[in-house]
Homo-oligomer: A and B are copies of this chain.
Amino acid sequence: PKTKYANNNVAGVVTGLAWTSMGGDILFIESSMAKGKGKLTLTGNLGDVMKESATIALQFLKAHHDWLDLDANVFNKYDVHMHVPEGATPKDGPSAGITMLTSLASLFTQRKVKKNIAMTGEITLRGDVLPVGGIKEKILAAKRADIKELILCEKNKQDIDEINEEYLKGLSFHFVSNMREVLDIALSNQKVKDALTVQ
């Protein structure tokens, strides 16, 4: 419960929000690629449901490659590795879905992720964003970590409405219902420094 927002210098790194019995915290989704054949490797002590989220995010990106001006074949030419620090902490659940999608989108486009933004939300294969639990704890953790903007499912708006406004100062919210909105909000048009040529 003391992680801080880092920076947005590296493609594929996105800030999410976690919620455990210990309270809320931010977490990072980190994706990296190497020439390969489309294999997806997942590390970070992840449970089965969280691994499924990564699979869904990657398939969604494949199916909507045109949204990001990606060539459909690019996904079979790289192996992708997604890691969620810290390795000693077991993690599970579907709530990192939109964070994983954004991570992969940033990786394949080499576009920067917007600064000081964090997000939490389940994804579906058709592109809907679903609400998740622990919103209050996650919001408090986001503030402590210097997050300024948050992406949440529109169905989680009611959870925000129940939080004392005092706690929300300095935070702006994006309530979304589908993954296109997530990508439009989260991805900067600027590429990272020393961007790879992904093709």
Residues of A at under 8 Å CB distance from B? 6, 10, 12-13, 28, 30-36, 41, 43-45, 48-49, 52-53, 55-56, 59-60, 62-63, 72-73, 75-76, 81-83, 85-88, 93-94, 97, 122, 124-128, 130
A71 to chain B, nearest CB (A): 11
- Whether B87 and A30, one on each chain, are in contact in the complex, defined by CB atoms closer than 8 angstroms, is no
Question: In the bound complex, do residue A32 and residue B125 qualify as a contact, i.e. CB atoms below 8 Å apart?
Answer: yes
Rounded to whole angstroms, the CA-CA distance of A45 and B50 in the bound complex is 10
A85 near B28 with CB under 8 A, answer no
Q: Check A52 against B59 for contact (C-beta < 8 Å).
A: no
Copies of this chain present: 6
B-side contacts of A55, CB under 8 Å: 41, 43, 81
- Residue contact B30 to A124, C-beta cutoff 8 Å: yes
7 CB-based A-B contacts, threshold 8 Å: A32-B63, A49-B88, A83-B124, A83-B125, A85-B124, A85-B130, A87-B94
